[in-house]
């Protein structure tokens, strides 16, 4: 009998690599179809303006052009990009139309769609479309947005999309008579995820069957299918969203973007398959941006460095519209300002300000990147003020294990109550210090060695994961005795197939070679799925696979019991190959499988859980050239149970460099 | 225009528009989709192929310019059977995640190691600095290339 759980925790070489290394991955732009039309999108070159006229006549006349689609062809009002997370009423007025109707609000907003026989002709035709736009003043920053002198949405009468507030304890009381307070302002600039593969979609409409197939979907396929079904007025079951190999996601790819409506609409409109592959310039203008935030924050402490309170205002530049997950970063800036520290009294509000820039969305650790910087920089300043070593300042304020579960600030309008559930933050910090040889290297702080000035820095963080509500998996014992695993999680290049095959093989007590494949994402694989975001795939999808494996093993035992003439409870499954009765009779699984035995499993989770860690950096700066040399960088994080140490290590290094 | 060149040991004859890039010709006309297009202006390196022994960005070369050339794409690096030592080394060192930049990394490294099987880490970094990867953080890619050097020393001069 095979020892259980020998694959989980092993540095298994990745299954995916075999196709990627040979150039046999299949990304959406690799697909070809008979009668394919290529789409190209005319985008606004103006940040803010009123559309006076669109003349597509010359573009329509170009040889090879099939059609040109504008808002009028879709029907005004055109559908809006919905909020997937935090669908609050405040955001309804500021949702993005899938194509510009009367105004453009950022450079890159779609104005018209051309379908042509080749991508080249489609792009040529864009140059023949004449658009007359009356420019309006562009709202470019926090001050301009907050002044409301130019409004992005006249009917909203304000550029403030909404305000989140994070509260714990009584900050006003904590600041009264506090022995020490300090106020600082910080800001972080815009970033974006920039996966190597540009976005792309291939939509096919079958008029006879009324079915739509869309390849190139990623991340949250079931939500995107629900959205598309509503917008196109066809039932969900008539739509299949297919996940191909995905060249990186990092939070940005796979959300429901305007093109996720436009390309399927175009395929139905034209009655032919339509493919769209964005170029890098388009990608930079249109895919969710992230992390542009500012804060004016004030801290209160005792003279020996115990934090009494934290209060202030933060401002997140959300761009021109609220898209699917555009509120997450701002919400997290509010809620995670305290990080892994015991701060009893908090009052922080975060304003979501609309500007004439590309809308924002989640990007790796949304809100945490910003707020970790604000907080840790503030702590360094405060420690210096108080004459306390900056490491010691952190030690004194990390949440001790004895205080867990420790409630963090409550967010309104959500009233969400979250807590730091478990962990030993002090052990984590000491390990990080040890690994970077802090004690020894801290002596170099601010000193010049061979003409370069040395510096060390340290920061602690918390990281949410395992977002609910649910994930679904299905495992099939195939007629030939192999197992196929289907799961609602999505692959975005993170090595899901390997990790899931490890989990499935261990749960089925079978060698990994018996797993024929892990099939993920695509909407026809399981009854419902939630996808890949918020570091959820392994916990949610992996646990769903465990549940499905247990259900399948029970079904196989029941089937075997009939053949072996015993009770199901007496059947053992050996090596994922055969079922054996207590009396020693056995039957090969392939002889049991018939046309295949299938079982679904689901995993549900309502609780938010948080991991934690610390990063430390040692750099040397050449004061003449400004060149920064990274001498050492250490990450310590509580990973829980590691499925594949190789992928964990790779993901961590990759995310640090990114 | 008619253009004729050799790809992965086979002669290809294609009718192309003069403006068609070699990358698009390989991908969409010859269906060699292992060559990836990430930026279309020579920055990301995902479309790197080997033209007459040199690593070339196929998005910056027109198909018509390939007339008479010998081209190798990622599909030509290994036969159906086994991964090459370089490919195995990438797998061993976890030098890829999403796999999109990987063909360009492999072709660039193959061209380098074929010419300079004794190159050091600094040289590997210098050459790979023209290829972007968003997933791995590069460290494992450099390790994989360095680890594959031994295989090229044995066959030095034999690979194209």
Residue A416 binned pLDDT confidence (cut-offs 50, 70, 90): confident
- pLDDT at position A1 is 44
Q: In what order do the strands lie in the sheet with B70-72?
A: B10-15, B2-7, B70-72, B48-51, B54-57
Question: What is the percent of chain A where pLDDT is above 90?
Answer: 95
Residue A250 forms contact with B (CB below 8 Å): yes
Whether the pLDDT of residue B157 is over 60: the answer is no
Q: Under 8 Å CB-to-CB from A215, ≥6 apart: which residues?
A: A28, A31, A201, A202, A203, A242, A244
A67 Cβ neighbours under 8 A, 6+ residues apart = A60, A114, A115, A266, A269, A270
- Angle at CA of residue A518, ends B30 and B47, nearest 5°: 30
Q: Which of left, alpha, beta for A437 (phi over 0: left; psi -120 to 50: alpha)?
A: left
Burial of A105 (0-12, 13-18, 19+ CB in 10 A): buried
**Pairwise CA distance, residues A508 & A482, whole Å:** 11
As a whole number, mean pLDDT of residues A251-265 equals 98
Enumerate the β-bridge partners of residue A462. A612
Q: What is the dihedral of CA B143, B144, B146, B150, to 10 degrees?
A: 140
For the cut 60, the answer to whether the pLDDT of residue B137 exceeds it is yes
Beta-carbon neighbour count of residue A93 at 10 Å?
A: 13
The answer to whether the Cβ–Cβ distance between A492 and B98 falls below 8 Å is yes
DSSP 8-state symbol, A199: P
Nearest to B38 among A20, A196, A493 (CB): A196
A with B: how many residue pairs have Cβ under 8 Å apart?
137
Asked if pLDDT for residue B160 goes beyond 50, the answer is: no
Q: What is the CA radius of gyration of chain A?
A: 27
Rounded average pLDDT over A319-342? 97
Average pLDDT over residues A184-209: 97
Q: Cβ distance A485 to A576 under 8 Å?
A: no
How far is A478 from A596, CA to CA, in rounded Å?
Answer: 5
Residue with tokens 């948080």: A610
Q: pLDDT band at B159, cuts 50/70/90? A: very low
> For A245, which of B73, B94, B99 is closest by C-beta distance?
B99
Q: How far is CA A206 from the centre of its chain?
A: 32
**CA distance linking residue A187 with residue A293, whole number of Å:** 6
Decide if pLDDT at B79 tops 90.
Answer: no
Flag whether residue A645 sits within 8 Å of chain B, measured between CB atoms: no
Tell me, what's the pLDDT at A564?
A: 94
Q: How far apart are CA A651 and CA A633, in angstroms?
A: 15
Task: Report, in angstroms and rounded to the nearest whole number, the Rg of chain B calculated over CA atoms.
Answer: 15
| A313 secondary structure, DSSP code | E
- All residues of chain B having their beta carbon less than 8 Å from the beta carbon of residue A36 are none
Contact B137 A653 (CB under 8 A): yes
Task: Specify the pTM.
Answer: 0.96
pLDDT above 50 (res A320): yes
Across the range A338-357, mean pLDDT stands at 98
Across-strand partners of B10?
B7
3-state SS, residue A336:
coil
Return the pLDDT at A2: 53
pLDDT per residue as tens digits for the range A447-480: 999 999 999 999 999 999 988 899 999 999 999 9
CB A220 within 8 A of CB A83: no
| Beta-strand runs (E) in A320-451 | 346-354, 406-407, 410-412, 419-420, 448-449
Model confidence at B156: pLDDT above 70: no
Report pLDDT for B81: 74
> Residue B48's closest CA among B143, B156, B131?
B131
- The nearest CA of chain B is from the CA of A306 a distance in Å of 38
Neighbours of A47 (CB within 10 A): 21
Q: With an 8 Å Cβ cutoff, is A196 touching chain B?
A: yes
> How many CB atoms lie under 10 A from the CB of residue A554?
14
CA distance B29 to B7: 12
* Residue range A532-561, pLDDT digits in tens: 999 999 999 999 999 999 999 999 999 999
Q: Is the pLDDT of residue A504 over 70?
A: yes
β-strand pairing of A483-487 with A515-520: parallel
Q: Which two tokens stand for residue B13?
A: 């004859």
Mapping DSSP onto H, E and C, the string for A42-110 reads: EECCCCCEEEEEEECHHHHHCCCEEEEECHHHHCCCCCECCCCCCCCHHHHHHECECCCCCEECCCCCE
Q: CA-to-CA distance for A630 and A624, rounded, in angstroms?
A: 17
Pairwise CA distance, residues A67 & A56, whole Å:
10
Pairing of strands A37-43, A110-116: antiparallel
Q: Does any CB of chain A come closer than 8 Å to the CB of residue B15?
A: no
d(CA B98, CA B16): 31
Phi, psi of A282, rounded to the nearest 5 degrees: -60, -45
**B89-122 burial string, b = 16+ CB within 10 Å, else e?**
bbbbbbbbbbbbbbbbbbbbbbbbbbbebebeee
Distance CA(A612)–CA(A189), nearest Å, equals: 24
Strand boundaries in A229-373, DSSP class E? 239-242, 274-277, 289-290, 293-301, 307-319, 346-354
Distance (Å, whole) CA A74 – CA A111: 12
Percent of chain A with pLDDT over 70: 99
pLDDT, tens digit, for every residue of A94-153? 999 999 999 999 999 999 999 999 999 999 999 999 999 999 999 999 999 999 999 999
- A561-596 per-position pLDDT tens digit: 999 999 999 999 988 889 999 989 999 999 999 989
Residue A89 reports pLDDT greater than 60: yes
The tens digit of pLDDT for each residue in B93-124 reads 999 999 999 999 999 999 999 999 999 999 99
- Average the pLDDT over B126-147 and give the result: 98
What is the complex's ipTM, to 2 decimals?
0.96
- Binned at pLDDT 50, 70 and 90, residue A417 comes out as confident
Partner A contacted by B75 (CB < 8 A): yes
Mean pLDDT for chain A overall = 96
Interval B19-55: pLDDT, tens: 999 999 999 999 999 999 999 999 999 999 999 999 9
Q: Are B148 and B117 in contact (CB under 8 A)?
A: no
Which chain A residues are Cβ-neighbours of B138 within 8 angstroms?
A: 657
User: Please, what is the angle between helix A542-564 and helix A496-507, to 10°?
Assistant: 40
Which residues, other chains included, contact A2 with Cβ-Cβ below 8 Å and sequence gap of 6+? A509, A510, A511, A574, A575
- pLDDT value at position A78? 98
pLDDT at A22 over 50: yes
Bridge partners, residue B100, by sequence = none
| Per-residue model confidence as pLDDT tens digits over A136-189 | 999 999 999 999 999 999 999 999 999 999 999 999 999 998 999 999 999 999
Q: Are A360 and A326 in contact (CB under 8 A)?
A: yes
> Which of A23, A27, A493 is nearest residue B97 as measured by Cβ atoms?
A493
The answer to whether A248 contacts chain B (CB < 8 Å) is yes
The answer to whether A63 faces chain B, any CB pair under 8 Å, is no
């Amino acid at each position: 009998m095979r020892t259980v759980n020998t694959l989980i925790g092993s540095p298994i070489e990745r299954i995916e690599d075999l196709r990627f290394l040979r150039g046999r991955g299949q990304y959406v732009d690799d697909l070809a179809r008979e009668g394919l039309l290529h789409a190209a999108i005319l985008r606004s070159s103006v940040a803010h303006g009123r559309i006076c006229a669109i003349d597509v006549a010359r573009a329509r006349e170009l040889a090879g052009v099939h059609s040109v689609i504008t808002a009028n062809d879709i029907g005004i009002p055109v559908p809006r990009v919905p909020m997937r997370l935090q669908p609050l009423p405040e955001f309804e007025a500021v949702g993005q139309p899938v194509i510009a109707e009367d105004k453009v609000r950022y450079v890159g907003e779609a104005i018209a769609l051309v379908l042509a026989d080749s991508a080249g002709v489609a792009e040529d035709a864009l140059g023949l479309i004449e658009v007359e736009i009356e420019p309006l003043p562009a709202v470019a920053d926090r001050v301009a947005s907050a002044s409301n002198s130019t409004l992005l949405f006249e009917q909203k009468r304000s550029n403030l999309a909404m305000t989140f507030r994070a509260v714990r304890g009584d900050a006003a009381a904590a600041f009264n008579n506090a022995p020490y307070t300090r106020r600082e302002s910080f800001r972080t600039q815009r970033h974006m995820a920039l996966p190597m593969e540009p976005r792309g979609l291939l939509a096919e409409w079958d008029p006879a069957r009324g079915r739509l197939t869309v390849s190139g979907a990623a991340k949250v396929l079931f939500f995107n299918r629900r959205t598309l079904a509503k917008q196109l007025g066809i039932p969900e079951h008539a739509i299949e969203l297919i996940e191909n190999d995905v060249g990186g996601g990092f939070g940005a790819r796979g959300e429901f973007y305007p093109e996720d409506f436009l390309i399927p609409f175009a395929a139905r409109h034209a009655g032919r398959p339509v493919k769209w592959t964005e170029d890098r310039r388009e990608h930079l203008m249109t895919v969710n941006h992230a992390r542009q935030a500012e804060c004016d924050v004030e801290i209160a402490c005792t003279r020996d460095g115990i934090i009494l309170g934290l209060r202030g205002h933060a401002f997140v530049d959300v761009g021109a519209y609220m898209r699917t997950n555009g509120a997450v970063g701002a919400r997290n800036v509010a809620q995670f300002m305290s990080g892994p520290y015991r701060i009893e009294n908090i009052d922080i509000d975060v304003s979501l300000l609309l500007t004439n820039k590309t809308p924002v969305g989640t990007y790796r650790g949304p809100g945490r990147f910003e707020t970790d910087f604000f907080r840790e920089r503030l702590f360094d300043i405060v420690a210096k003020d108080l004459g306390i070593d900056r490491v010691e300042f952190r030690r004194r304020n990390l949440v001790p294990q004895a205080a867990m579960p420790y409630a963090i600030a409550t967010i309104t309008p959500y009233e969400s109550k979250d807590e730091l559930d478990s962990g030993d933050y002090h052990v984590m910090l000491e390990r990080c210090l040890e690994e970077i040889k802090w004690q020894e290297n801290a002596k170099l702080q601010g000193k010049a060695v061979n003409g370069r000035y040395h510096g060390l820095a340290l920061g602690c963080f918390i990281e949410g994961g395992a977002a609910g509500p649910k994930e679904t998996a299905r495992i099939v014992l195939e007629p030939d005795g192999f197992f196929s695993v289907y799961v609602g999680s999505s692959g975005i290049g993170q090595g899901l197939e390997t990790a899931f095959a490890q989990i499935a093989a261990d749960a089925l007590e079978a060698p990994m070679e018996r797993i024929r494949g892990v099939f993920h994402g695509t909407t026809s694989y399981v009854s419902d799925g939630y996808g890949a975001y918020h570091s959820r795939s392994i916990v949610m999808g992996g646990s769903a696979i465990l549940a499905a494996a247990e259900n399948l093993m029970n079904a196989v035992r029941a089937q075997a019991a009939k053949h072996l003439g015993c009770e199901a409870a007496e059947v053992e499954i050996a090596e994922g190959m055969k079922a054996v009765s207590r009396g020693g009779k056995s039957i090969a699984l392939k002889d049991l499988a018939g046309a295949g035995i299938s079982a679904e499993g689901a995993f549900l989770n309502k609780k938010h859980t948080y991991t934690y860690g610390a990063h430390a950096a040692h750099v040397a700066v050449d004061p003449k050239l400004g060149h920064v040399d990274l001498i050492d960088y250490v990450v310590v994080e509580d990973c829980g149970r590691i499925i594949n140490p190789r992928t964990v290590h790779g993901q961590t290094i990759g995310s640090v460099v990114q | 225009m008619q253009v004729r060149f050799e790809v992965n040991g086979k002669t290809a004859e294609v009718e192309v528009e003069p403006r068609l890039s070699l990358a698009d010709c390989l991908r969409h006309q010859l269906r060699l989709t292992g060559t990836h297009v990430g930026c279309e202006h020579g920055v990301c390196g995902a479309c790197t192929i080997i033209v007459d022994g040199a690593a070339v960005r196929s998005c910056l070369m027109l198909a018509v310019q390939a007339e008479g050339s010998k081209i190798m794409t990622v599909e030509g690096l290994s036969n159906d059977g086994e991964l090459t030592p370089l490919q195995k080394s990438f797998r061993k060192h976890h030098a890829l995640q999403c796999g999109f930049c990987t063909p360009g990394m492999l072709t660039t490294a193959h061209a380098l190691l074929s010419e300079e099987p004794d190159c050091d880490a600094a040289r590997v970094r210098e050459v790979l600095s023209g290829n972007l990867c968003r997933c791995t953080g590069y460290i494992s890619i450099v390790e994989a290339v360095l680890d594959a050097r031994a295989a090229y020393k044995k066959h030095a001069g034999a690979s194209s």
